[in-house]
Amino acid sequence: MFKKIVAIEPVNLVPKAEEELRRYAGEVKFYEDIPGDDQEIIQRIGDADGVLVSYTSRISAHVIESCPSIRYIGMCCSLYSEESANVDIACARANGITVLGIRDYGDRGVVEYVVSELVRFLHGFDRPMFREMPIEITDLKVGIIGMGVSGGMIADAMKFMGADLSYYSRSRKMDREAQGMAYRPLKELLEYSEVVFTCLNKNAILLHEEEFGHLGTGKILFNTSIGPAFDIPALKAWLDQEGNYFVCDTEGALGDPSGELIKHPHVFCAHISAGRTRQAFDLLSAKVLDNIRTFLAE
């Protein structure tokens, strides 16, 4: 059992999960706003031995070393790799602190979002019509970059709708190829596809000026990654060409620190995370609690 658990920012646990959390600690404290800096995070943690964090704050080495009571950090957000995490996992490990994160809790909402947006373009429903007349997803040349869980789920949806599917990833997916999906090197996939989905881990930048040259014109680029999968100047130059469109759910997926590109007429952003659904919060809560039970059992 924990002496004290502190959620240093909103962590999106459902009320039932918040109540269950109190079974695992003598004291539980939830903060409903995002801390401004490391010092505020340190103050919020205090003498807590359990810490919960979402994706909007970073627990740095300085924070970890300033809070010697911590023995567990629960990431209430996606943990794809140590390098991309918003917790200094290496420092935590060196200080004997366990860090556990979650994955794959908001993917269904993302799939629904991209299908909805794509159909709006293909039929011209309050979007520029992609071709001269409405077309279906059937036989549409769709390329997917990154075949993790979300990329695979988008592939399943596109396959169900009859798309001509290609994929690129760090490793070949023979099960996918057995389903009729073609593996293509990145440049070939970009040239061949009419619509491209980037479904990559955070901080994985694959599209540069050369790649956008291979993508060419008359294309739609979706980014479902947490952050940008491209160089911002290269994306802007590509968007300035007629017939190219970029689609994302949040400003973070566009990743433009200047805030200017979001105003581009060829950028379509929903300004809200497509994965933030009731079902996603239920699943997030269950996985966060599972991690805590796993830690306590050890």
SS3 97: coil
Taking phi first (over 0 means left), then psi (-120 to 50 degrees means alpha), and beta for anything else, what does residue 280 get? alpha
The answer to whether 52 touches 7, Cβ cutoff 8 Å, is yes
1, 27 contact by CB (below 8 A): no
Check residue 219 and give its pLDDT. Answer: 98
What whole-number percentage of the chain has pLDDT above 90?
Answer: 88
pLDDT at 104 over 90: no
Q: What pLDDT does residue 298 have?
A: 85
pLDDT at residue 184 greater than cutoff 90: yes
The mean per-residue pLDDT over the stretch 200-218 comes to: 93
Q: How does pLDDT run across 216-246, given as a tens digit for each residue?
A: 999 999 999 888 999 999 999 999 999 999 9
Residue 103 has pLDDT above 90, yes or no: no
- What CATH superfamily classification does 2-103+278-297 receive? NAD(P)-binding Rossmann-like Domain (3.40.50.720)
Q: How many CB atoms lie within 10 A of CB 99?
A: 25
How does pLDDT run across 49-96, given as a tens digit for each residue? 999 999 899 999 999 999 999 999 999 998 878 888 899 999 999 999
Mean per-residue pLDDT, 35-55: 97
Q: How many CA atoms lie within 13 A of 236 on its CB side?
A: 12
Start-end ranges of CATH 3.40.50.720 in the chain? 2-103+278-297, 107-269
What is the per-residue pLDDT across 274-289, written as a single tens digit (0 to 9) for each? 988 999 999 999 999 9
Q: pTM of the predicted model, to two decimals?
A: 0.83
170: Cβ contacts below 8 Å, ≥ 6 apart: none
Do 229 and 254 meet the contact criterion of CB atoms below 8 Å apart?
A: no
φ, ψ at 257 (rounded to 5°): -65, -20
Distance CA 207, CA 198 (A): 9
Q: Is 178 exposed, middle or buried (0-12, 13-18, 19+ CB in 10 A)?
A: exposed
Sign of the C-alpha dihedral computed for residues 270, 80, 277 and 38 taken in this order? negative
**Residue 102: pLDDT above 80?**
yes
Sole residue written with tokens 């994306």: 235
- What integer pLDDT is reported at residue 84 of this predicted model? 81
Rounded-to-10 torsion of CA 137, 139, 141, 147: 70
Average pLDDT estimate for 181-191: 98
**Res 248: pLDDT:** 97
Domain at 107-269: CATH architecture = 3-Layer(aba) Sandwich (3.40)
Three-state DSSP state, 141:
strand
